[in-house]
């Protein structure tokens, strides 16, 4: 769990970065699925990163006053409401929220419009995630205009609007020890879910039955939810990169690709494993699998301080391209295959992304036109793959083979730490793990 002190310190750090002005960070709205039935609530990641507060209808205002002495950390949140709490459960109310979450002041969300005008008066800059939510953009501009109307009273309105995400993305990109501890745990639970899924898999079962095993393990171990919609893709379905129907019967001789992981205390894991439905890789499956695994190993070895964001991708690409040539999937020299991008027929995505509160997390990948350097505390996924659709110029035994192997990797001083290492990955490990069940069920 992340301490209140950590959240307070993040707000202090943000205040010191923006120096002068007011930052406005609203959490996500509740969303309706139909009529009065809501989607499960998920807070806004930026808001949560700075507050640890999970209730909807809440706004953080940070007033930065130059030298920091008069800076304020203010929360607006829902009032206590005995009637609503019977239906929806506990709410903090402003007083308890202020105390519990370490704010200087907290007010009822019903007073937001009234007090925002006061807080923005005579401030030079408003920091906000402009463009993220049109309703909030309009509301903030309305506040600025209201301040502007008081110009004859000698009040000045903010002259500048800046995107707060610029600063926050950089803060979120490098994880502290508490975040890494949560992500390690999210990785462990997700890996155990994959192990459970492997043991539950056999010909004749449906993809959704395996999905259920994953969801069961996430929740059984206290994770809030999946971090994204699970992909459970048997056979040819694995060649559809964003396949989420998960409703096909699993066939003997096919592979099963599972891309699924949980969200724990707001933090995402992201794991893919690919394994044989019947517990034993065929020769052709093993060839492609070993190639993708070699590419992934090379990419993980390239995750270390001093290398840049693109290093793991380039390392994976070198291995994959040589493999595609050796297997007669691509023709020409490795340089030509990379130059013409003919490899993209079989490997059309990049090798990873930042990971954190969002599965595709905050943070720029390039700075001043250069891939950014990896530094300790960054967390990224390493996920090469190979997807082979039927085609006349492709050996038939490779048709409909879709393989991806994905782990979550934290950059450390010495190199990297794989947060999801518990999920079996080598051919022998997978076959052995799956065989245990098959034997025990005989």
Residues forming contacts to ligand GLY in the complex (CB under 6 A) are 228, 259, 270, 353, 359, 383, 406
CB of 257 to ligand GLY, least distance (A): 11
Task: Decide whether 107 or 275 has the Cβ nearer to ligand GLY.
Answer: 275
Find the angle CA(234)-CA(237)-CA(243) to the nearest 5 degrees: 110
Q: Which of 159, 152, 273, 255 is nearest to 214 (CA)?
A: 273
Least distance between ligand GLY and beta carbon 14 (Å): 28
Active site residue 360: yes
Q: Which of the listed partners (Mn ion, ligand GLY, none) does 179 bind, with a CB threshold of 5 to 8 Å by partner kind? A: none
Active site residue 98: no
Query: Is 335 among the residues known to form the active site?
Result: no
The string of DSSP letters for 233-246 reads: EEGGGGGSTT----
Least Å distance, CB 240 to ligand GLY, is 14
Shortest Cβ distance from residue 228 to ligand GLY (Å)? 5
Chain positions contacting Mn ion, by CB under 5 A = 259, 270, 381, 406
228 binds, among Mn ion, ligand GLY, none (CB under 5 to 8 A by kind): ligand GLY
Instruction: Tell me how far apart the alpha carbons of residues 21 and 18 are, in angstroms, rounded to a whole number.
Output: 7
* Contact yes or no for 253/277 (Cβ under 8 A): yes
Burial 24-55 (b: 16+ CB within 10 A, else e): bbbbbeeeeeeeeeeeeebbbbbbbbbbbbbb
Q: What are phi and psi of 47, to 5 degrees?
A: -60, -45
Q: Check 353, 372, 373, 417 and give the catalytic one.
A: 353
Cβ 327 vs Cβ 291: under 8 Å: yes
User: Which residue lies nearer to ligand GLY by CB, 121 or 261?
Assistant: 261
Of Mn ion, ligand GLY, none, which one does residue 361 interact with (CB within 5 to 8 Å by kind)? none
Instruction: Using the minimum distance from each CB to ligand GLY, give the nearer residue, 213 or 270.
Output: 270
**Shortest spacing between CB 414 and Mn ion, in angstroms:** 24
Q: Is 36 a catalytic residue?
A: yes
Residue 379 and residue 410 in contact, taking contact as beta carbons nearer than 8 Å: yes
404 annotated active-site: yes
- Looking at the Cβ atoms of 201 and 381, the one nearer to Mn ion is 381
432 is catalytic: no
Q: List the structure tokens of 291.
A: 């190639």
Q: How far is the CB of 359 from ligand GLY (least distance, A)?
A: 5
Decide: helix, strand or coil at residue 87. Answer: helix
In the set 48, 107, 228, 387, the catalytic residue is: 387
* Both tokens assigned to 347: 């490997």
Indicate which residue of 44, 217, 361, 383 is catalytic. 383
Annotated catalytic, 406? yes
Q: Which entry of 286, 349, 350, 389 is annotated as an active-site residue? A: 349
Nearer Cβ to Mn ion, position 359 or 388?
359
Question: Whole-number minimum distance, CB 44 to ligand GLY, in Å?
Answer: 20
Instruction: Name residues whose C-beta falls within 8 Å of residue 190's C-beta, 6 or more positions apart in sequence.
Output: 218, 223, 260, 261, 262, 269, 270, 271, 420, 423
Record the tokens describing residue 160, joined without a space.
């500048």
Catalytic annotation present for 242: yes
Choice between 100 and 229, CB closer to ligand GLY:
229
Cα separation, 259 vs 268, whole angstroms: 13
Q: Are strands 262-264 and 267-268 parallel, antiparallel or unpaired?
A: antiparallel
Find the catalytic residue in 361, 406, 407, 408: 406
Choosing from 179, 217, 254, 259, which is the catalytic residue? 259
Please confirm, yes or no, whether 265 is among the known catalytic residues.
no
Question: Which residue number, 263 or 406, has a Cβ lying nearer to Mn ion?
Answer: 406
Measure the CA–CA gap between 422 and 217, rounded to whole angstroms.
14
Q: Active-site residue numbers?
A: 36, 242, 259, 270, 349, 353, 360, 383, 387, 404, 406
């Amino acid at each position: 769990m992340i301490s209140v002190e950590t959240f307070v310190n993040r707000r202090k750090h943000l205040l010191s970065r923006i120096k002068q002005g007011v930052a406005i960070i609203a959490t996500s709205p509740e969303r309706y699925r139909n009529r009065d039935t809501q989607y499960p609530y998920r807070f806004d990641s930026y808001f949560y990163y700075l507050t640890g507060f999970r209730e909807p209808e809440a706004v953080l205002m940070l007033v930065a006053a130059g030298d920091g002495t008069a800076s304020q950390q203010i929360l607006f949140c829902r009032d206590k409401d005995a009637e609503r709490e019977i239906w929806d459960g506990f709410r903090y109310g402003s007083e308890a929220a202020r105390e519990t979450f370490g704010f200087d002041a907290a007010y009822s969300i019903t007073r937001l419009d009234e007090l925002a005008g006061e807080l923005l008066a005579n401030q030079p800059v408003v920091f906000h995630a402009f463009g993220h939510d049109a309703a909030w953009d309009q509301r903030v501009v309305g506040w600025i205009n209201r301040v502007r109307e008081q110009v004859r009273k000698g009040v000045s309105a903010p002259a500048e609007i800046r995107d707060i995400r610029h600063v926050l993305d950089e803060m979120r990109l490098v994880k502290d020890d508490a975040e890494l501890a949560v992500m390690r745990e999210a990785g462990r639970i997700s890996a155990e879910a994959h192990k459970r899924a492997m043991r539950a898999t056999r010909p004749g079962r449906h993809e959704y039955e395996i999905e259920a095993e994953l969801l069961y393990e996430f929740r059984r171990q206290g994770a809030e939810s999946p971090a994204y919609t699970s992909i459970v893709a048997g056979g040819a379905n694995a060649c559809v990169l964003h396949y989420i129907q998960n409703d096909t019967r699993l066939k003997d001789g096919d592979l099963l690709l599972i891309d699924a992981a949980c969200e724990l205390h707001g933090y995402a894991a992201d794991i893919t494993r690919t394994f044989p439905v019947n517990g034993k890789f065929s020769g052709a499956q093993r060839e492609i699998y070993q190639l993708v695994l070699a590419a992934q190993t090379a990419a993980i070895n390239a995750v270390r301080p001093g290398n840049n964001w693109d290093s793991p991708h380039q390392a994976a690409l070198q291995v994959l391209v040589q493999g595609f040539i050796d297997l007669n999937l691509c023709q020409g020299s490795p340089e030509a295959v990379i130059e013409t991008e003919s490899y993209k027929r079989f490997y059309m995505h990049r090798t990873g992304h930042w990971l954190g509160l969002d599965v595709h997390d905050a943070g720029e990948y390039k700075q001043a036109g250069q891939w950014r350097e990896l530094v300790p505390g960054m967390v990224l996924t390493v996920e090469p793959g190979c997807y082979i659709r039927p085609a006349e110029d492709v050996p038939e035994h490779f048709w409909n083979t879709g393989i991806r192997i994905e782990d979550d990797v934290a950059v450390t001083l010495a190199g990297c730490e794989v947060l999801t290492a518990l999920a079996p990955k080598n051919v022998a490990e997978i076959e052995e793990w799956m065989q245990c069940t098959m034997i025990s069920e005989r």
